[in-house]
Structure 1
Amino acid sequence: MLSNKQLEEIREHLEKAQNPLFFFDNDVDGLASFLLLRRFCGKGKGIAIKSFPQLNGSYARKIHEFKPDYIFVLDKPLIDKEFRDEAHQLNIPIIWIDHHPMPDYFREAGIHYFNPLLEGQEKDNVPVSYLCYKVIRKKEDEWIALLGCLSDWFIPEFAEDFAKEYPDLFTFTKNAAKALYETELGLIIKMLNFALKDRTSNVVKMLKNLLTIKSPRELLEVSPKTASIHKRYKQIIKRYEKLIGRAKSFAKNNKKLLFFQYGGDLSLSSEISNELSYLFNDKVIVVAYIKGAKANVSVRGLMVDVRALTAKALEGIESTSGGHEHACGATLQVEDLPRFRDNLLRLLR
């Protein structure tokens, strides 16, 4: 966990900022992190980052568009040099809050880096939304922090009290997977994940609406504020369930590995791999989304260090990879998928 001094330092930056620009990972942990900080300071714009795994250089144009005095980067393991250089040249500080393994440039001038791993205090299982909640300490936004934490398979210490206040939405359990797939809060997380995959204009409108919502129950009700979220959920859920059904049929192929690949116009690899990991918690799960010549791969494994496994299986293959001990991702050429799969099978024998 970050120290009280570090949490206070982030809070001071947040209070000092007059026009902050928030870049956050395109998932519910990233979204919740943004909402917590933005609702606290009441200022600034939020941008969901769709590039993987880094905040790539193309986002530097947003610095000129919004002219911020502070940049906050939430839940992204890497920031392209082009982006860092642009912020540095304009003398805009970057407040970078993360929980992934540290890059070698995190001490560059102008970067204020906050990561529990830097202190060597714990494994990388504390979500950024949990860190942001500890910064702002607003009881009324506890539900937002819980959504972010559960989406990253983490049960925070305030979950039990939340369950007493909202027994219809969440039954307390220390099993994060059960909380994610057997409660109404888990349904809300799925809805928000799907909504983040909408057109940019719709995501921008959703962010504005989420800044004003006071209770998680509001998200389950269709209203002018939530209509786009429910619409997107209905657009995606049947396709998602069909893919889950297809993927489950591959479970019998191998005792240790479930390898599933699919194509189409929408990537759901992270969500599919998470649910398959819940359903088959004794297996390593690999879900590959194919688009053109590239494959974006999500890897999960509750019993294995899949980050190390994936890195080993990708040796000699042109690729990028990164993530956490039990959940990581990679990008590689489609033609290299069979080799990647064979390497995994060999390593898992």
Structure 2
Amino acid sequence: MILKNLERIREVLEKVQNPLFFFDNDVDGLASFLLLRKFCQKGKGVAIKSYPGLNVSYVRKLYELNPDYIFVLDKPIIEKGFIEKAKELVMPIVWIDHHGIPKEINNYEDSIFYFNPKAIGMKETPVSFICYQITRQKENEWIALLGCLADWYVPDFAKEFSKAFPDLFPFTPDPAKALYETEIGKLVKVLSFALMDRTTKVVKMLKNLLLIKNPYELLEENKLTVSIHKRFKQINRKYEKMLKKAKKIAEKSGKLIFFKYGGETSFSAQIANELFYLYPNKIIAVACVRGNKVNVSLRGKNVLKITLEALSNIEGKGGGHEDACGAALKTSDLQKFHENLLMLIK
């Protein structure tokens, strides 16, 4: 069943003429796009900045680019209005995800081919791992590894990759060490920060990434990577200042590390990940406050269950993975959310 589904997606990629790839605005989503796009050699990519899913505002891209197939990568939700417009325009959707299975997916069997390892009893894996199983292009294995490590997953091909590139990835089964103690892990951070840019700059980056053939080219500054590294350095300076503040809070914290900040740039996922690497036995909550809305990145053992319970008496939403998830709520409810977390993990 698994191989049959993967082969079906591969067959679609082999026949498409003008695919449109929507992908989550993180390194797992980016790597997934690069793997599929490098395989079929056709189509455009669009990083999805709406949370938590692909919302109806992206319908404009269907008219602008007129795809024959739509691929949605690493997003747990596609809004009903988007699905219905794609169906009206006769643009079938291939949706590859690894989050929770949407209840309404069976209502769209005629217009969506949905693949999620959870739906067929597979262990949860990053979408980039799934896309690598579909494309099976050894020369792009490094891209798949970047996507997997970004989602804290060490894939089965990592040990073999380590033998070929010991300088980039001295093998470790620990995804945290792989992310923060290896050169390949550094590239995850570089791409993660490079995605934090204006749409026109991200489009240029995607074009350049499609021309890069190996991780060494991406690590060095050259004509294809100079803008990527420039953006990384800009963002990293801000990130390191914010991380320093978060560490001071962490040093004084008990079982829960709760860090709140504001500003134009959101580092919540990255700060939460690094704090979890430094404090693996604690629950991490990093809240980015923007006006009357807050997005929170959470990390820790069984943190999704804790998060959903903490939201039970609050108007907000949460989702993600067992040990890494997110929540969105009103600023006025943040104190209550904090109190609920403290009560649940004491």
TM-score by length of 1: 0.97
The 5 A counterparts of 1:74-113 are 74-107=73-106, 108=108, 109-113=110-114
Kindly indicate whether residue 341 of structure 2 is the aligned counterpart of residue 337 of structure 1: no
- Residue of structure 1 in register with 2:179 after alignment: 180
After TM superposition, which residue ranges in structure 1, 4 or more long, deviate above 2 angstroms? 252-255
- Cα shift at 1:253: 3.7
- Residue of structure 2 in register with 1:34 after alignment: 33
CA distance in 1, matches of 2:345, 2:304: 14
CA distance in 1, matches of 2:327, 2:111: 29
CA distance in 1, matches of 2:246, 2:233: 21
- Residue of structure 2 in register with 1:305 after alignment: 302
Kindly indicate whether residue 206 of structure 2 is the aligned counterpart of residue 245 of structure 1: no
Kindly indicate whether residue 288 of structure 2 is the aligned counterpart of residue 292 of structure 1: no
The 5 A counterparts of 1:140-289 are 140-289=139-288
Kindly indicate whether residue 115 of structure 2 is the aligned counterpart of residue 114 of structure 1: yes
- Cα shift at 1:100: 0.4
The 5 A counterparts of 1:312-331 are 312-331=309-328
Which digits, 9 at most, give the CA deviation of each residue in 1:127-162, with x for residues without a partner?
Answer: 000000000000000000000011111111111111
- Cα shift at 1:254: 3.3
- Cα shift at 1:164: 1.6
**Aligned partner of 1:110: which letter?**
S
Which digits, 9 at most, give the CA deviation of each residue in 1:276-302, with x for residues without a partner?
Answer: 10001010000000111101100000x
CA distance in 1, matches of 2:232, 2:53: 27
Task: Report the secondary structure of 1:18's partner residue.
Answer: coil
CA distance in 2, matches of 1:121, 1:188: 28
CA distance in 2, matches of 1:29, 1:118: 20
Kindly indicate whether residue 166 of structure 2 is the aligned counterpart of residue 138 of structure 1: no
Kindly indicate whether residue 75 of structure 2 is the aligned counterpart of residue 44 of structure 1: no
- Cα shift at 1:120: 2.2
**Could you say what the CA RMSD is over the residues aligned between the two structures, in angstroms?**
0.9
Which digits, 9 at most, give the CA deviation of each residue in 1:85-110, with x for residues without a partner?
Answer: 11011111100000001111222130
**Aligned partner of 2:182: which letter?**
T
Task: Report the secondary structure of 2:312's partner residue.
Answer: coil
Verify the 8 A CA contact 2:2 2:120 in the aligned structure 1: no
CA distance in 2, matches of 1:233, 1:91: 40
Which digits, 9 at most, give the CA deviation of each residue in 1:216-263, with x for residues without a partner?
Answer: 011111111001111001101121111111111112443210000101
**Aligned partner of 1:41: which letter?**
C
Task: Report the secondary structure of 1:298's partner residue.
Answer: strand
- Cα shift at 1:121: 3.0
**Aligned partner of 2:194: which letter?**
A
Task: Report the secondary structure of 1:10's partner residue.
Answer: helix
**Aligned partner of 2:44: which letter?**
K
**Aligned partner of 1:331: which letter?**
A
Which digits, 9 at most, give the CA deviation of each residue in 1:54-94, with x for residues without a partner?
Answer: 10110011001000000000000000111101101111110
**Aligned partner of 2:119: which letter?**
L
How many residues are aligned here?
Answer: 344
**Aligned partner of 1:346: which letter?**
M
Task: Report the secondary structure of 1:78's partner residue.
Answer: coil
Task: Report the secondary structure of 1:88's partner residue.
Answer: helix
**Aligned partner of 2:158: which letter?**
A
**Aligned partner of 1:340: which letter?**
F
**Aligned partner of 1:132: which letter?**
C
Task: Report the secondary structure of 1:60's partner residue.
Answer: helix
Task: Report the secondary structure of 1:148's partner residue.
Answer: helix
